[in-house]
Amino acid sequence: MLKRTLLGLLRSHEQTGDKAKDPLLKSHFYKMSKEKAWEEVVSTLKKMQGYKVLHDIPSVGEIVLEKKTVTGRTMDITVSVIGVNPVTSAVDIYSASRGSFGDLGSNYRVILELYRTLDKKLAAFKTTAP
């Protein structure tokens, strides 16, 4: 976690993906169609305290959220729901802080919090890969 805070002095964004070096930032996969995953992800995110859904675009599979930090900064978060195949979907997250200074690892922590919440809600569908 110290490494993340030090990286956060310089960086003001974080993202997940298939090729992420940090295992905690790897894409999360769920055994469900893109449409079903979309419904579940959107409804879960809309209920999360401290996050505001600005808009969701089903055709693209993106949900755009905003979160205010305790220091008053705004974080812009994009959650992508990707249909890997007819029965498996992936969820990736990109989080960026507005402003010119680093985020002290807050984008990293937000991604982990979102994944924890989604994994808990979709535990029955969680899978390691397509």
Residue-wise pLDDT tens digits, 90-99: 999 999 988 7
Number of domains in the chain: 1
Q: What is the DSSP string of 16-54?
A: -BTT-SSGGGBPEEESS-HHHHHHHHHHHHHH-TTEEEE
pLDDT of residue 6: 47
Tell me the pTM: 0.90
Secondary-structure breakdown of the chain: helix, strand, coil percentages, each rounded to the nearest 5: 35, 35, 30
pLDDT band at 4, cuts 50/70/90? very low
Question: Domain limits at 104?
Answer: 2-127
* % of the chain with per-residue pLDDT over 90: 70
Averaged pLDDT of the chain = 89
Q: Give the domain CATH number at 72.
A: 3.30.310.220
If one counts every other C-beta atom within 10 angstroms of the C-beta of residue 82, the result is 15
Instruction: Find the mean pLDDT for residues 15-29.
Output: 92
Residues β-bridged to residue 74: 68
